[in-house]
Amino acid sequence: MDDTDTQVGEPDISGRFLVDPYLNWAQNEGIPVHLDFGHDLLALETKPWDRYGARGCFAHTHGRGDFMANYVIEVPPGGKTAPVKHLYEAFFYTLSGYGTTIIWLPNGEKQTFEWGPKAVFAIPLNCEYQFFNGSGREPARLSCTNDAPLTINLYHNVDFVFANPFAFPERMGRANHFEGEGEHLRVNRGSNVADVNLWETNFVPDLTSFKLYELGARGKGSLNVSFIFADGTMHSHMSQIPKGRYKKAHRHAAGTHVHAVTGEGYSLLWYEGDSEFKEIPWRHGVMYTPPFWMLHQHFNTCNEPARYLACSLGSRRYPFISLRKRSAEGAGSQSIQQGGRQIEYEDQDPRVHRKWLEEIAKNGVPSEMGDIFNEDAIMALNPEELTGPIKMPQSVGPAV
């Protein structure tokens, strides 16, 4: 063999090792890619996005995991987006503005509905859709929580994801599901676990007034409903924290994008062994994502009930992964001491309640939790009693 035929140097392995097709796609879309624990989606910088014919940005979080992500679409005053379709599921939460959505269904029909602030809706899988801003003065912003990372990384072919002609007529739901109507389903999960309330639809016009149901296992006075949107594999639920109260700490899989809807408060996040909490203040417009198995707890600090919308992979109908199946079965509201994922009030670190008492005092909000905690004793603790690793209950049984 002639020496000139010998390869010199290392081979080019670009694009052949540790490839992330989703991140490559996001970076090539030409819009900002923001990354943090959470974001104020109303304040994020956007730039023109050719794919949508509008403005947009990616709102990536450290806790988004392998399957889920979020982006923001901003439709200019009097403007509209380009028609788009894709093979990933997508939930849209209206951050600001008023507008109209047109969806082209597989049978050739069109569905049109109007939305305003704090509406949520799903686009049935691979249906073409378009947004119109109903205001000639103000832009409209929508948050899109989606499973594009799962879909794009699985097929790693952008044309297959965005230009696929296959139709999914079974995903349409009933015609009135685009009109804000739906079906209430109540599931009895057994004597030791609270019932789960489901609402099957494609569109909820106003999350602030939507009916919720008691879920006291997550905290006294807590209300909740789970959504099944467009017969999808993605999950969403709405929860309400009463005035003068907060939720119990829990943990779960990655990718749960939490949108604050009404009220104000904060969430604490920590891992076992941590000595300090990660704190995320929230109000409408703020979205954050607890990382995998990171404990987190939601606190209402205002003088009214606070609602939040959570979107993740694995619906109550199609759990998709084993951790989500266990959540649907009730593990999310069972104590860690029973092999579940929740810290009961009596087992939590005293710093948790003390911090909350200090925060609500700033807002003149009285505590409604004196029936659970000796609040005078907690406030009288010396600073040295509130240091060191965050107190955790002893786990019994398998982690689920």
Residues 6+ apart with CB under 8 A from 68: 145, 146, 147, 149, 150, 234, 254, 255, 256, 257, 289, 311, 312, 313
3-class SS of residue 385: helix
Tokens, residue 145: 């929580």
| Phi and psi angles of residue 160, each rounded to the nearest 5 degrees, phi first | -65, -35
- pLDDT tens digits, 307-327: 999 999 999 999 999 988 888
Report the alpha-carbon distance of residue 131 to residue 134 in Å, rounded: 9
Annotation: CATH topology of 177-345: Jelly Rolls (2.60.120)
pLDDT at 277: 96
**Ranked by mean pLDDT, which of 189-193, 381-385, 392-396 comes out on top?**
381-385
Query: For the residues 377-399, what does the mean pLDDT come to?
Result: 81
pLDDT at 399: 58
pLDDT at 396 over 70: no
Query: For the residues 35-60, what does the mean pLDDT come to?
Result: 98
pLDDT at 13 over 80: no
- pLDDT tens digits, 132-146: 999 999 999 999 999
- pLDDT tens digits, 260-285: 999 999 999 999 999 999 999 999 99
CATH of domain 21-171: 2.60.120.10
Question: Which residue's entry shows tokens 């982690």?
Answer: 399
3-class SS of residue 128: strand
- pLDDT tens digits, 77-119: 999 999 999 999 999 999 999 999 999 999 899 999 999 999 9
Q: Where in the chain is the domain with CATH 2.60.120.10?
A: 21-171, 177-345
